């Protein structure tokens, strides 16, 4: 049997170092290390560390170029731009990225704590001005909120925003201007909305109810149930059912104005309007007029 032609080129493995002649202990001959070659566990003290950088990168300061780009409109040689492009991009990203900043909400009725003496001075001046303004005065009477309303896409009226009313009402005079069907087969009694009906309880019963009437304020429209009554001081009274449908929020601003925020049932439309201006002619700061000298008989809407 002839050997393979390539068997002559096979390198045989060296004999195991722990094999020794019979009767002789393990070999203790030291391992031969070539002169000048350090072992794997030893590191030369003068070993150098390197980082990747170009020659242009070593001559240009990235922060200087980044500040130039951020602060002013400048013209730069392409050499400088190419040299610091990666560092500038990182700097700009760090300056422009959004970070989580804790929000400190001051207690109700207080302002945020100033941080500088100028802010302290400004805060004191603003506080003094607010103390002397009308919103901190004690009034005997303030007007209720009102809003311009489009009823059933037909007529516009001024509605009274009545937080204390449990229903929505309109008088006969407004109903007769509308082409709305009315449900008269109801047995309800509504009290306290008009002085005339207080004395005539039989007439306190509503004439009927109009179902699913469109009430639109500023593009926010809802379907509401409106009772029709014989007498009513306002053209329309928007009570709690309407407030609940539009999730009305009332805000008394620092300047005395009365703001209202409403939204459509699907949450896609919002409307904000001023129901009462801060300086309103029905604000009563005194119980009698200066020229009267005695108690006047002003008409107040309750």
β-sheet with 270-276: strand ranges across: 249-252, 258-263, 270-276
Residue 117 binned pLDDT confidence (cut-offs 50, 70, 90): low
pLDDT in tens, 218-262: 999 999 999 999 988 899 999 999 999 999 999 999 888 999 999
Pick 22 or 152 by higher pLDDT: 152
Pick 193 or 136 by higher pLDDT: 136
Lowest mean pLDDT among 41-50, 89-98, 150-159, 291-300: 291-300
The average confidence (pLDDT) of the chain is: 75
Q: How far is CA 176 from CA 170, 231, 239, in A?
A: 10, 13, 21
Residue 29: the pLDDT is: 47
pLDDT in tens, 168-203: 999 999 999 998 999 999 988 887 655 554 444 445
What is the CA angle 24-26-28, rounded to 5?
115
- Percent pLDDT > 90 in the chain is 35
| Cβ neighbours of residue 243 closer than 8 Å, sequence gap 6 or more | 161, 163
Residue 106 binned pLDDT confidence (cut-offs 50, 70, 90): low
Joined together, the tokens standing for residue 63 give 């922060």
Strand partners, 161: 238
Q: Which residue has the tokens 């909400």?
A: 105
Distance, in Å, from the CA atom of 169 to the CA atom of 151, rounded to the nearest integer, reads 12
- Over its C-alpha atoms, the chain yields an Rg (Å, rounded) of 44
Per-residue b/e over 211-235, b at no fewer than 16 CB within 10 Å?
eebebbbbebbbebebbbbbebebb
pLDDT in tens, 27-65: 444 555 455 555 555 555 566 777 777 777 777 777 787
For each of the domains in the chain, give its residue range(s) and CATH number, in order of start.
57-90 (no CATH), 146-245 (2.40.70.10)
Residue 264 binned pLDDT confidence (cut-offs 50, 70, 90): very high
Lowest mean pLDDT among 158-167, 187-196, 211-220: 187-196
| Cβ neighbours of residue 197 closer than 8 Å, sequence gap 6 or more | 190, 191, 203, 204, 229, 230, 231
Residue 93: the pLDDT is: 76
State the alpha helices, DSSP H only, in 101-164.
117-132
């Amino acid at each position: 049997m002839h050997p393979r032609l390539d068997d002559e080129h096979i390198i045989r493995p060296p004999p195991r170092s722990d094999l020794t002649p019979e009767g002789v202990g393990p070999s203790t001959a030291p391992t031969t290390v070539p002169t000048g070659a350090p072992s794997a566990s030893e590191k030369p003290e003068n070993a150098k560390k390197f980082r990747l950088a170009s020659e242009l990168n070593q001559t240009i300061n990235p922060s200087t170029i980044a500040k130039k780009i951020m602060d002013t409109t400048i013209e730069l040689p392409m050499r400088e731009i190419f040299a610091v492009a990666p560092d500038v991009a990182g700097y700009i990203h760090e300056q422009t990225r959004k970070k989580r900043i804790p929000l400190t909400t001051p207690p109700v009725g207080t302002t945020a704590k100033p941080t500088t003496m100028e802010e302290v001075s400004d805060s004191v001046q603003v506080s003094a001005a607010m103390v002397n303004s009308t919103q901190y005065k004690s009034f005997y009477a303030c007007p209720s909120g009102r809003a311009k309303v489009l009823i059933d896409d037909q007529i516009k009226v001024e509605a009274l925003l009545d937080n204390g009313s449990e229903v929505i009402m309109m008088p006969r005079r407004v109903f007769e201007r509308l082409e709305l069907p009315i449900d008269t087969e109801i047995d309800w009694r509504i009290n306290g909305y008009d002085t005339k009906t207080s004395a005539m309880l039989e007439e306190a019963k509503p004439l009927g109810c109009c179902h699913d009437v469109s009430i639109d304020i500023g593009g926010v429209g809802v379907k509401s149930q409106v009772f029709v009554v014989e007498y009513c001081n306002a053209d329309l009274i928007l009570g709690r059912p309407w407030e609940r449908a539009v999730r009305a929020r009332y805000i008394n601003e620092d300047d005395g104005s009365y703001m209202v925020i409403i939204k459509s049932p699907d949450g896609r439309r919002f409307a904000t309007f001023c129901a009462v201006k801060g300086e309103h002619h029905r604000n009563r700061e005194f119980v009698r007029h200066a020229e009267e000298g005695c108690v006047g008989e002003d008409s107040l809407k309750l």
